[in-house]
Amino acid sequence: MRCLHTFSDWKWTGPAEPVVSLCEALAALGCDAVLAYPKAPAGFRERTVGKEAERRGIQSCNALRLNRYFSVRDWLFDFRAIGRYAASRPFDIVHTHLTHDHAAAALSLFGRSKRPLLVRTDHKRDGLDRGPAMKLLLGRTDGLASYSRKIMTQDLGRFAYPAERTVVLPPAVHVYEGPIKDVRGSLGIGRDEKVIGVIGRLKPDRGYERILGAFKMLRARMDKVKLVIVGRSSQI
């Protein structure tokens, strides 16, 4: 089976890890999985989708631009290129992960007599955005995946998408195999204390008020427990 995954972001953001890990897992199962993503700015030193895909040996596609920011030239290019590239392999599935590449793939594949199946994974915490544009887009989509039953239930209710064409898949995770270090002492955590940790961008829309609220409830019920939040942001 040949599958083209499209991801219109070069940054190593929340959805990037499960997308790259999914491609890695599919390749390990013998699938011909190719990941298409935009190029990172020259000289960018931090982690990117491209760097991680290369490190894990994932096939990459450089034939698409996948610029999710306004660019008539890049968008018109992809409207033509995605369909041509999908037919050239040929791919059995085009699996999209963000709304921009989902829309670009749907437009590029529209009207083709022998086109691959179009699939979308919903990475959004609260489900796909409401509106007629998304409903029209899903009407041209052959399959819908999400990481939880709650998210899928929201999408089914909003868009009346056929349940038989959906699947709930746990997100793929790449197990960390690098060096580790015990930092309990530097964080003031005792050996007899339990630790709850969360890692992510420190932004108001990431649900940290729920984490803090839940931890407050936990502290009222037990002693010797600490919460460690790891992340960074300009809004820290």
Domains in the chain, start-ordered, CATH in brackets? 2-168 (3.40.50.2000), 185-230 (no CATH)
Kindly report the number of other CB atoms within 10 A of residue 21's CB atom: 18
Q: Is the pLDDT of residue 57 over 80?
A: yes
Which token pair is 72?
Answer: 């008539």
Give the pLDDT mean for 200-228.
91
The answer to whether the CB of 44 falls within 8 A of the CB of 9 is: no
Q: Is the pLDDT of residue 62 over 80?
A: yes
Q: Is the pLDDT of residue 212 over 80?
A: yes
CA neighbor of 5 nearest in space, from 78, 97, 87: 97
Q: Supply the Cα-derived Rg of the chain in whole angstroms.
A: 20
Give the pLDDT mean for 151-160.
94
What pLDDT does residue 172 have?
A: 72
What pLDDT does residue 233 have?
A: 82
| d(C-alpha 188, C-alpha 78), whole Å | 52
pLDDT in tens, 119-146: 999 999 889 999 999 999 999 999 999 9
Three-state DSSP at 236 gives: coil
Evaluate the CA torsion angle 88, 94, 97, 100 in order and state its sign. Answer: positive
What pLDDT does residue 16 have?
A: 94
How does residue 59 score in pLDDT terms, banded at 50, 70 and 90? very high
Kindly report the number of other CB atoms within 10 A of residue 47's CB atom: 13
How does residue 157 score in pLDDT terms, banded at 50, 70 and 90? very high
What pLDDT does residue 1 have?
A: 92
Q: Is the pLDDT of residue 174 over 90?
A: no
Long-range contacts of 119-122 (CB under 8 A, 24+ apart): 119/93, 119/94, 119/95, 119/143, 119/144, 119/145, 120/95, 120/96, 120/144, 120/145, 121/19, 121/95, 121/96, 121/97, 121/145, 121/146, 121/147, 121/169, 122/146, 122/147, 122/151, 122/152, 122/155
Give the pLDDT mean for 91-97.
97
What pLDDT does residue 149 have?
A: 93
Which token pair is 27?
Answer: 């390749």
What pLDDT does residue 176 have?
A: 80
Q: Give the containing element (helix H, strand E) for 166.
A: strand 166-168
Q: Is the pLDDT of residue 8 over 80?
A: yes
Q: Is the pLDDT of residue 108 over 90?
A: yes
pLDDT in tens, 185-210: 999 999 999 999 998 888 888 889 99
What pLDDT does residue 236 have?
A: 75
The answer to whether the CB of 38 falls within 8 A of the CB of 65 is: yes
Q: Is the pLDDT of residue 109 over 80?
A: yes
What pLDDT does residue 111 have?
A: 87
- The rounded mean pLDDT for the chain is 93
What pLDDT does residue 58 have?
A: 96
